Amino acid sequence: MNVKRIGSGITKIRTKLILSQIFIALIPFILVGIVGITFSVREARKNVAQRSSQTVTQVSRTLDTYMEDLDKLVLTLADEIEAADLDGSTDTKAAEVIRTMQNVMGRYDEIAGMLYAEDNDDYISTGITRVSRDSFQKESWYKAALLDPDKSHMISTVTGRNIATDVGYSVDDVFSIVKAVKNRDTDRIEGVLLVDIGHSIISSAIRDSQLGGEGFVFVLDEEDHMVYTPINPVVYRINPKWLVNEDETIAVDLGNSRYLVRFKKSDMTGWKTVSVTSYDELMGDYNRMMGIFAAILVATLILVQYLSVRVSDNITRPIKKLRDLMRKTREGNLSLRFESDSRDEINDLGKSFNHMIDRIQELLVRVRQEEDLKRKAELKIVQEQFKPHFLYNTLDTINWMAREHGAKDIVSLVDALTNVFRISLSHGKDYITIKEEINYISSYLYVQKTRYEDKLLFEIDTDEECEKHQVPKLILQPLVENAIYHGIKLKRGTGHIHISVKRADDMICMSVEDDGKGMDENTRDSLRELLKTGEHTQEIKAEDKESFGLFYVKERLQQRYRDSYKVEVESTEDIGTRISIFIPFFEEENVIK
């Protein structure tokens, strides 16, 4: 847990150093950039609005100029037609009118055709042909001229007419100007003059306006019908209802693009000249400026981050080194020391760390020596309790008396008990061969069987290749004793104990198994936890023979094999218990004296 906290601290310190340096470096850059961009964008939007207004006003004025010229031309033509009607024959009049029309069309390329419809349904035309014999007086353009015969009228929609231009103009390519022709003396309307004007006059006026690659201009009449529009998919998405205030620039989003819409209404024709400007295109320079600023910002971030990382690494590298040493020390490696050429506070911490590790090593050596002395003293105390000379003399006396009286069973029992004491003492040796350990267990079980008679049966099975290996003496005796007193003794009927010593790969497995009372789950799990962690050892009571015996075995195995051993406990209540000890199998036995 301590190592994780240290590692987390290193990360936080390094991150804080990097972020603080980046933050300090970018504050002035970002502030200046934000202020500059804000004012630039504001001016850009203002310039875009002014430019759109200037464009639409310019186009509208140009169209008004063209329309004024055309209006004057139509009025002049009407006067000439009326004058031609004053004298001369009808054929003479028609030839004169046609000649006048042809002269006008020769001077004005934008005129697609002319037609003069008389009140008697006769007509004179140049560039225009009558489609059917239907009366001209039923045509909407003819009626429009009669409503106000004193001025000319603009007709933007020319569909459904009884006439067609000779040069292939479609109804979408022209608009018309009509004017009633009145007799000067009688003030009677004698006919209507119609002039078809090609949209080229509008496109030429628009062509000079600079609206960028995506901008365009279109024209609506008084009823918001389309008079002229270039080929553009956006134009039909412009809602005429948006066109309310001439002094306002409307920003609309169409698809993934934004457009600025501005219009100007002509006082002469009533038509609306509408300009549509791509906001993104007009803002291209400023967007490029934003891109350059963003690129500089990214480059600055990379440079500042690089420098921050280098500076932060120089500061945190010794801390990280000290942290790694602490982690390895926590894992048990006490041979490492902190080394640094600096003379800062981290170097002082490193020296303190080195001194601490030296002290820990000294204390560990001392603790191990004290533990070894303590365990040896405990074993000596246990062995002294047997009073070997007194026991041997007493047993010899009992054996001699039993022989005198012919008690062979007592002789065998005394011989077994003598063998038990002899092996348990072993001239003070702490380690004996597995064969000697098994002989001891055999004698011990013979003594116990004499006591319990038919209630106890036992079986011993060993591999010869394991018999020469040395183990801590009396390592199986506590397990056998537990099997008798906590298993067989509590069982009704005959109990069986099976002892086996076998090789399992590179280990030797020594097991003691009984079919006695067994253990409940809590007791079994408690013993397993005790053997695994060694916790709660201070709570083991002297009368708890089972826990104490296993703990005693564990301590002796730990002293001999360190972490190269294993003890397994398997038990089921009312079925039995099996306790197995696994120790290393050495090819060449290291005899310990």
Contact criterion met (CB below 8 Å) for 440 and 413: no
CA distances from 178 to 172, 181, 449 (A): 18, 10, 140
pLDDT tens string 306-323? 777 777 777 767 777 777
pLDDT at 7 > cutoff 50: no
Q: Report pLDDT digits (tens) over 267-321.
A: 888 888 888 887 777 677 667 777 787 788 788 778 877 777 777 777 767 777 7
Q: What is the mean pLDDT of the chain?
A: 79
Q: How confident is the model at residue 540 (pLDDT cuts 50, 70, 90)?
A: very low
pLDDT tens readout for residues 500-538: 999 988 999 999 999 999 998 888 888 888 877 755 444
Contacts 24+ apart (CB under 8 A), 57-61: 57/264, 58/208, 58/209, 59/205, 59/206, 59/209, 59/217, 59/264, 59/273, 59/275, 60/264, 60/265, 60/266, 60/273
SS3 annotation, 432-459: EEHHHHHHHHHHHHHHHHHHHHHHEEEE
Question: In this predicted model, what pLDDT tens digit does every residue of 229-239 receive, in sequence order?
Answer: 877 788 888 88
User: Look-up: residue for tokens 């020594």?
Assistant: 510
Q: Which of 264, 280, 289 is CA-nearest to residue 212?
A: 280
Predicted local confidence at residue 575, as pLDDT: 92
pLDDT band at residue 569, thresholds of 50, 70 and 90? Answer: very high
Q: With contact defined as beta carbons under 8 Å apart, do 136 and 162 qualify? A: yes
pLDDT above 90 as % of the chain: 10
Q: Which of 11-20, 50-59, 386-395 has the highest mean pLDDT?
A: 50-59
Whole-angstrom CA distances from 62 to 173, 509, 529 are: 19, 110, 100
pLDDT in tens, 334-391: 777 777 766 777 777 777 878 888 888 888 888 888 787 777 766 665 555 445 555 6
Position 511 scores a pLDDT of 95
CATH of domain 1-328: 3.30.450.20
SS3 563: coil
Q: Are 76 and 231 in contact (CB under 8 A)?
A: no
Amino acid 366: pLDDT = 84
Q: How far apart, in whole angstroms, are the C-alpha atoms of residue 563 and residue 556?
A: 12
pLDDT surpassing 70 at residue 257: yes
Chain segment 193-216, per-residue pLDDT in tens: 999 988 877 777 776 665 666 778
Place 331 in a pLDDT band, splitting at 50, 70 and 90. Answer: confident
With 60 as the cut, is the pLDDT of residue 438 above it?
Answer: yes
CATH superfamily of 429-584: Histidine kinase-like ATPase, C-terminal domain (3.30.565.10)
pLDDT value at residue 457 = 92
Tokens (6 digits) for 499: 């002892």
| 3-state secondary structure (DSSP) of residue 169 | coil
Interatomic CA distance for residues 565 and 587, integer angstroms: 17
pLDDT, position 462: 93
Is residue 326 predicted with pLDDT exceeding 90? no
Domain boundaries, the chain: 1-328, 334-383, 429-584
> Strands 507-514, 128-130: parallel, antiparallel or unpaired by DSSP?
unpaired
Sign, CA dihedral 397-400-404-406, equals positive
Q: Is residue 444 scored above 50 in pLDDT?
A: yes
Mean pLDDT of 329-337: 76
- Radius of gyration of the chain from its Cα atoms, rounded to whole angstroms: 59
For 474-491, the pLDDT digits (tens) are 889 889 988 988 889 888
pLDDT, tens digit (0-9, with 9 covering 90-100), for 61-103? 888 888 888 888 888 888 888 877 544 456 677 788 888 888 8
Instruction: Please list the residues that pair with 278 across neighbouring strands.
Output: 259
pLDDT above 80 for 16: no
- Per DSSP, the three-state class of 477 is helix
**Which pLDDT band holds residue 2 (cuts at 50, 70, 90)?**
very low
87 to 83, 93, 188: CA distances (angstroms):
8, 8, 16
The per-residue pLDDT for 6 is 43
Is the pLDDT reported for residue 580 higher than 90?
A: yes
pLDDT at 577 over 90: yes
Question: What's residue 458's pLDDT?
Answer: 92
Alpha-carbon distance values, 501 to 282, 415, 420, 476, 557 (Å): 94, 25, 19, 11, 16
pLDDT at 413: 73
**Is residue 582's pLDDT more than 90?**
yes
pLDDT single digits (tens) 99-150: 888 888 888 888 888 999 888 888 888 888 888 888 888 888 998 889 888 8
Residue 510's pLDDT is what? 95
Tell me the CA end-to-end span of the chain in Å, nearest whole number. 42
Q: Which of 201, 339, 260, 215 has its CA nearest to residue 53?
A: 260
Query: In this predicted structure, what is the pLDDT of residue 11?
Result: 54
What SS3 state is found at 582? strand
What pLDDT is attached to residue 119?
85
